[in-house]
Amino acid sequence: MAVEVASADDMRDVPRCLRAVRVNPWRDAPETSGESVCYGTFEPGKAHAGEPQWFEVEPATGSDYSGGTVTLANQRELKRLLTESEDPVLPDCVWCTAYGGHGTYALFVVYAALPAEIREVLGALDDYPSVNDEALSKLECQLGSEAWEAWGRTDLRRALEKQFGAELGHLTDDCLFELFRVAGERMGHDWEFEQGAQAYFDFTRAARELSNTLDAPPSWLTDEQIGALASLRACISVEK
Residues in CB range of 150: below 8 A, 6 or more apart? none
According to the model, what pLDDT value does residue 199 have? Answer: 95
According to the model, what pLDDT value does residue 90 have? Answer: 67
Q: Tell me how far apart the 2 most distant CA atoms of the chain are, in Å.
A: 79
Cα distance between residue 193 and residue 186, in whole Å = 18
Residues in CB range of 138: below 8 A, 6 or more apart? none
Alpha carbon 181 to chain centroid distance? 21
Tens-digit pLDDT profile for residues 43-52:
999 998 889 9
Tens-digit pLDDT profile for residues 168-226:
988 999 999 999 999 999 999 999 999 899 999 999 999 999 999 998 999 999 999 99
Higher pLDDT, residue 170 or 122? 122
Q: Which residues pair with 104 in a beta bridge?
A: 100
Choose among 47, 49, 50, 21: nearest CA to 108: 21
Q: Is the pLDDT of residue 4 over 50?
A: no
Choose among 120, 106, 113: nearest CA to 44: 106
Q: Is the pLDDT of residue 7 over 70?
A: no
Q: Is the pLDDT of residue 9 over 50?
A: no
DSSP string, 132-153: -HHHHHHHHHHHHHHHIIIIIH
